[in-house]
Amino acid sequence: LHALDHLKRLYDRCGQSARIKLIRETDALRSLSSPLVTVLEAEYVREEPQDRLVDDLSGIRKTLRDARETFRANTIDAASHGQFDTEQAMHQLDSVRWLHRVSYHFWRIAFHLERAAAEVPAEAPSPALETDEDLD
């Protein structure tokens, strides 16, 4: 059920085409998304859930979480120097948050599927949620 919940949230996010388009069209965002795309396209992802996938997705999620702050500062600085307008900056900030949340959902899906495959009891403790946002 945990994996299905995250899958539904991921499905909803994947319908947000304006954010996806902006990520594809913005060099910095496309660069941030590249590790996630690479892992999701990897051959081992199609196999049974395993530690490597969970670890790779967790690392990407953490990297994106940390990169958001730098991206945010750089985006605000660029907008304040007229490199693009405020609305464009806000869309980019929204897209980097979207990217982090998508990576979070992929990680949690892999985590829960791995646990289910190992037949670990559902009451096993799970990692704490991100503290700075609602990960819906």
Per-residue pLDDT of 86-120, as tens digits, reads: 999 999 999 999 999 999 999 999 999 888 887 75
Residue pair 113/74 in contact (Cβ under 8 Å)? The answer is no
Q: How far is CA 8 from CA 2, 53, 83, in A?
A: 10, 20, 37
In the prediction, which pLDDT does 26 show?
Answer: 94
Q: What percent of the chain has pLDDT over 90?
A: 70
Identity of the residue numbered 67: A
Categorize the per-residue pLDDT at 121 as very low, low, confident or very high, splitting at 50, 70 and 90: low
Taken as a whole, the chain contains a residue count of: 136
Q: Which residues contact 84 (CB under 8 A, 6 or more apart)?
A: 78
DSSP symbols for 89-111: HHHHHHHHHHHHHHHHHHHHHHH
Segment 57-77 shows an average pLDDT of 95
pTM for the whole structure:
0.80
State CA 134 to chain mean position distance: 13
Residue 135 predicted with pLDDT over 70 = no
- Across 1-15, average pLDDT: 94
The predicted pLDDT at position 47 comes to 67
Say how far apart CA 82 and CA 84 lie, in whole Å. Answer: 5
Of 6, 7, 13, the closest CA to residue 95 belongs to: 13
